[in-house]
Chains A and B, each alone.
Chain A
Amino acid sequence: DAGVIQSPRHEVTEMGQEVTLRCKPISGHDYLFWYRQTMMRGLELLIYFNNNVPIDDSGMPEDRFSAKMPNASFSTLKIQPSEPRDSAVYFCASSYLAGGLNEQFFGPGTRLTVL
């Protein structure tokens, strides 16, 4: 398996623009997680899905953030409008058991810079 795939790897955009991050989990994994990593706050869970259904979105910072999982092999994280404080590395991860009960497999991340 190719592992968790994320695109783009780098994104530079201007404040106010819409940003869409994409993720393809490992086939057969029922759980998908979106994390954000910054120097100040470390790695934070934003939202996770089980069988394509959002289970816990309490980590989503505000309404500008939204996530979808239209099918088992694809998820998006959208920021609209983007702000400079959204600059971070965004990771997608997947696992085959309930989040936390076994290892999570992380993608390479998307480094987002909002100017």
Chain B
Amino acid sequence: SQQGEEDPQALSIQEGENATMNCSYKTSINNLQWYRQNSGRGLVHLILIRSNEREKHSGRLRVTLDTSKKSSSLLITASRAADTASYFCATAQPTYSGAGSYQLTFGKGTKLSVIP
């Protein structure tokens, strides 16, 4: 089953507007990561937020994490047409393979369309 679930599944906005995507998860995590995937391409890492952090910024990106609600949000400010892509959250949780072993579990993504 999916650990991270993004919401909404699809989002369409005008260039210059802000885009907010949410992610909910079920079990405790070590960290939560956001990735972007352009059509026909591989995933590109955007930002990582650890379980003891509440907010992180990177350029036009702002990520929040609420471990009590098991949720995270990704905010893209002043969106551009080039931000059109699918955005995935991925949660890092321990595997059954042994101590110190973690794996990433990805949600199904939010498809963002930024209209010029």
A binding-site residues for B, Cβ under 8 Å: 4, 42-43, 45, 48, 55-56, 58, 91, 93, 98-109
Interface string of B91-109 (1 = CB under 8 A from A): 0110111101111111111
> Do residues A91 and B43 form an inter-chain contact, with CB atoms below 8 A?
yes
- Is B59 engaged at the interface, CB distance under 8 Å to the other chain? no
**In the assembly, what is the distance between CA of A108 and CA of B42, in Å?**
4
> Do residues A100 and B92 form an inter-chain contact, with CB atoms below 8 A?
yes
> Do residues B30 and A101 form an inter-chain contact, with CB atoms below 8 A?
yes
> Do residues B104 and A104 form an inter-chain contact, with CB atoms below 8 A?
yes
Q: Is the interface of A mostly helix, strand, loop or mixed?
A: loop
Count of chain B residues with a beta carbon within 8 Å of a chain A beta carbon: 28
Q: Name 13 extra pairs, CB < 8 A, besides A56-B96, A99-B101.
A: A43-B106, A45-B103, A48-B103, A93-B43, A98-B100, A100-B30, A100-B104, A101-B31, A101-B92, A106-B35, A106-B43, A109-B41, A109-B42
How far, in Å, is B34 (CB) from chain A's closest CB? 10
Chain B, 11-35, CB within 8 A of any chain A CB: 30-31, 33, 35
How far, in Å, is A56 (CB) from chain B's closest CB? 5
